[in-house]
Structure 1
């Protein structure tokens, strides 16, 4: 399905932030790894979290759900012997479960999105698992991937953090369950340290002890631990809300979003600070963000590493700012559902934006007068690209059509419903 975005000068209204995808997937996993029954309140509903639900069920967890909560009876450290797992297009779910599959005799992760997740590399995690005695069959680090486990050993493990922090998080979920103590050393750089902080927060809530160095590059993990069954409450999602906040910033608006904690450990919370730096009128009190946009924005420079999943929305806002903006330290955007630098900027140029790329930078020469629009745009099967391009379409001079916009469901299935509720002129069109 495609979406037609027609220029919309004004937005107003109130919405509840979606629940966090990152926290939901992590809570689902630690609940499955617990012996006993856990409850997760206000879980996210998206393709990613649904993929985790499906996979932990396949691995032996009992999952019961109503409108408010999920109740999970876990399989502990002994997942059911399954031959195949389908993670859909969910990279984090794949990477987290590659380590958990090391507790099973043999699991093959199948490749159902060859043009998206199927292109993403997982060599760094494969190398770490092989250090632990796990046999991995793969295609140059890509799907399909077969894990032959059952004999995983702790000890000294080295993993690169330069492509993704998800490889480290994956090992942190597995190592407490092993008989031996483990030490993990992160090599090179560690991308998205804030997201590792979320993993450590969830593990601590699940009763797991991990000794992390202050710079998050070294870890000591006692072996023989068990995950405790707990109750968890999922907080509101900043990455998805970033696009809605950006849309409010570039239009005449009075938009309120509830359930966005001021002290959240989500790095994408920085969207609020970035919009403030761009001189967007807003308030953030008691978990409520209110934007009274006037369509006027100032350019800025921003280190995007700690707020990876909000950078595309920030760039969309900067398209209409006065001056030149620079988003740096963002190379890991290249290793997502698509190359979120080259592919995204190519589509922005079609719409009339003036943008440049470096290996790890996005440079935006703002056009406060707006962009032309009037074009068809390729979303590259990427939910973040879809959301950000929609923001640009709201302020274009002519409608833009975004192809394959249904892939927004990966993280925010009701994104367009929320925008419509705020007055945006967006409509679904058969491809």
Structure 2
């Protein structure tokens, strides 16, 4: 072989990617070190396979390598137990791109079960996050918690007993949350300060509130908009609120189906709601003082259409709710809107058209400004029929890991 041929062969070898590897891991006393070492040594395309069994872990795990799959043998078979956790807040922290997490459970973490930050093309599929002691203020805040990320897919999974939100996506863009079961959380699903989200096919039950779409001030990304909530079953959200005092979701009333706060262009359609005793749909402005000049605290451009709403609003748990229900004939109508189309920024009153469209019985509290005391409400039935264009369906990249997984209906057993 000539020198030229040797050099060419070397170049070809260097340009040829090595075959993907699979790290096979089984439960052992060294599981903590074994799993973390695999997550460090993995290269793009590799699989970390966690065989069936229970892994007793005492510290958090982290993944910062792109293109890795972490795969178990099913969320009832492969269980990462953090009951003895003494270090780190979350069970698993992901800070890389093109990651697929599938087929395992995370239980009893001190903080969040799985957190991702700054990730792109991240998929949660066929997972379970649970605090096995049931609802408790000492439980971790979030089950699945991607933040400041893009192209997020969360599907076919279950989250139980979070002290904040079971599935939370914050300050992110291009999001699909589909066919999950969320129960016994304060909030079942929360989309916060995010843009372009489709939330569909989920079963939210026995939470304090089923599905929340919020926008909050003083975060790096504000101005959440363009969320579609459709084809969900949102029933019997009756768990007393067990969030820590001072947490924003500590103000979510027990018995709430869907809540939109200070967000724009939210479309709620083709859902089934029943047994939500405070209200099926609540639309409100942000109620606390703020100084963030980028922030708009009004809920606006909200559409509620073509839903099936059975019994609801019969025992409201928010301040002034009982008196309001009595004044309205004994129950809160299917949709309750604070009616505010103005807000205060310092001493200045800023007015803005807060367009709404409802095809269900709705009440407006006719509050003068967002955040005004409910005691100042002047309720009247609302007839809101603005023409508001629906956001385009969210399109995730075709090469996103887990896109070939067949979505499953997240219905009751």
Please, what TM-score do these two structures have when normalized by structure 2? 0.23
More helix by share: 1
Q: Which has the higher strand share?
A: 2
With CA pairs under 8 Å and 6+ residues apart, which has the higher RCO, 1 or 2? 1
- TM-score scaled to structure 1, two decimals? 0.22
